[in-house]
Amino acid sequence: MLPKDAEPQEEPLEAINRSAGEHDRRRGDPVTRLSLAFLVLMLANYGARAAEKSYRLGDLEPTAASAEITRNTIVPELAKLGFQEGINLVIDERVGDAGAMPGLAEDVILSRPDAIIAFGGAAILARADEVVE
């Protein structure tokens, strides 16, 4: 029990904002982090055979800046698993706005990658539409 003269403690404003859907930018977008974790886990199964085959990774991005962030994050993580760009990994990167995403998604799918990264709502929806059809 609280003493009668004790005031209720209020939650800090930043905690309230995070609970309302915002997140700490230093930690990154939760969806992006989950997608990257899934990609790393999926490709980890191929890690032992990485030297035997060249793998293709499709990447759909809404801006050049997001493509650079994705590349700077993923390439080092994949290197830890034995994937080296230019040796046994080819990254097929496509960048465009929401209107261009369906065509870019089709191009990436036609290149037959082993895995696809789609960043942003338009890229994910374009990729999903191409798989369903």
Per DSSP, the three-state class of 33 is helix
Q: Is residue 4 part of a domain?
A: no
pLDDT score of 106: 87
pLDDT score at 112? 92
Residue 45: inside a domain, yes or no? yes
**Inside any domain, residue 20:** no
* Nearest C-alpha neighbor of 40 from the set 85, 88, 82: 82
Structural domain that includes position 83: 28-132
Q: What is the pLDDT at residue 102?
A: 86
Mean pLDDT per 10-residue section of the chain, whose length is 133 residues: 56 50 56 71 60 84 90 92 92 90 88 87 60 50
Residue 12 lies in a domain: no
pLDDT at position 120: 75
Phi-psi region of 21 (alpha: psi -120 to 50; beta: other; left: phi over 0): left
How much is the pLDDT for 44?
A: 66
Domain assignment of residue 15, yes or no: no
In a domain, 8, yes or no: no
* In a domain? residue 90: yes
The CATH number that applies at residue 48 is 3.40.50
